[in-house]
Amino acid sequence: MSTTTTEAVRVERPTSRVETFLGRHAAMIPTFAAVIILIVLLAGAEAFLRGDFITARNLSALLLDNAYLLILAVGMTFVILTAGIDLSVGSVMAFTGILGAQLLVSGQPVWVAVPAMLAGGAAIGLLIGVLVQYFNVQPFIASLAGLFLARGLAFVVSLSSIRVEEPAVLWLQQTRFRLGDWYLTPTGIIALLTVAVAAFVLHLTRFGRTVYAIGGNEQSARLMGLDVARTKVAAYVISGFCGGLAGLALTAYSGAGYPRNGIGTELDAIAAVVIGGTLLTGGRGYVLGSLIGVLVFGTIKTIISFMGAEQSWMQIIVGALLLLFIVVQRVIVSRSERRR
């Protein structure tokens, strides 16, 4: 009798305001954590480096140096939200960059070279999406095939670096729109516009809602009558397109196309998306969180550069953050499953 009463009391215990808040905003907790980590990193660097870190020049350079990574992270967000993965984006960036450089050197106008870069990236994304959706190939394997394909195509175009002297391309990186000591480059504007468009699509369109539905439960999305096949393929096309756009940004940044560019960058993009709060299991996350993840990534890289430490510390710190965020994500998923 007492046991039954105790159980009844436990069931009827009112939920606290904190528990209610966490339950309603569980998906935002990893993104909030990323914001806190970014603030701590900036404050710690400012204190440790005695006021030489948080300056308009350094903060402006964060977007300047990581514009291509932010563009890749936006495309990766779409794919991971569908519970997929895209390992090809670094190679796609290299392929489209060297392709654009080769076209420009051979005398093609910029209005031909740039669309060719974007179309090349989208085509590889389409191939991966078709393999995943219509041939039931695991995203890891399909995108790995895309990685080798894009890298091979990059070496077919050229085995060495190709210098770009097209003024319209170099203008994207060399131009500075200044407001006092702050500045913004066209590549940074392109990256921010990519984030803005992606946020609009994901949160205010039917396509975006379908992306989240697929990641949450693909079978349920089918039963709801949503166009799962087209949406999944489109997510990989978007990722490939972003790879081509990142190739343009990186080519403008470095002033050259190089077939070995972007080796390992796909892992950086995945890390930024995960640190930004997007769950690897899909269905939860925000493209603005990916922006925060890229800023965290770039801040760590800048701090290590300021300290003159070895770059191996970059991998160590990012690896530790990934482990932390994966654990946080698992806790959130487990709590959600228990509530169901």
In a domain, 10, yes or no: no
For the stretch 14-25, pLDDT in tens is 455 544 444 455
Which structural domain range is residue 322 located in? Answer: 28-46+54-339
Report the distance separating Cα 27 and Cα 121, nearest Å. Answer: 31
Non-local (6+) Cβ contacts of 209 within 8 A are none
For the stretch 242-268, pLDDT in tens is 999 999 999 999 999 999 999 999 999
In a domain, 19, yes or no: no
CATH number (domain holding residue 285): 1.10.3470
In a domain, 1, yes or no: no
Tell me the CA distances in angstroms from 120 to 84, 184, 244, 247, one per residue in order. Answer: 21, 28, 7, 11
In a domain, 5, yes or no: no
For the stretch 136-194, pLDDT in tens is 999 999 999 999 999 999 999 999 999 999 999 999 999 999 988 899 999 999 999 99
Q: What is the pLDDT of residue 6?
A: 44
- Cα 292 to chain centroid distance, Å, stands at 10
Structural domain count, the chain: 1
List the alpha helices (DSSP H) in 82-185: 89-105, 110-134, 139-157, 167-174
Q: Does pTM top 0.85 for this prediction?
A: yes
Mean pLDDT computed over 118-132: 97
In a domain, 20, yes or no: no
Pair of tokens at residue 108 = 């093609």
Number of Cβ atoms within 10 Å of the Cβ of 324:
14
Number of Cβ atoms within 10 Å of the Cβ of 285:
27
Report the distance separating Cα 252 and Cα 230, nearest Å. Answer: 33
Q: Is the pLDDT of residue 196 over 70?
A: yes
In a domain, 12, yes or no: no
**DSSP string computed for 34-103:** HHHHHHHHHHHHHHHTTTSSS-HHHHHHHHHHHHHHHHHHHHHHHHHHTT-----HHHHHHHHHHHHHHH
Number of Cβ atoms within 10 Å of the Cβ of 149:
17
Say if residue 207 is exposed, middle or buried (CB neighbours under 10 Å; 0-12, 13-18, 19+).
middle
Instruction: Find where tokens 């191939």 sit.
Output: 127
In a domain, 300, yes or no: yes
Are β-strands 182-184 and 177-179 bridged in parallel, bridged antiparallel, or unpaired?
antiparallel
In a domain, 16, yes or no: no
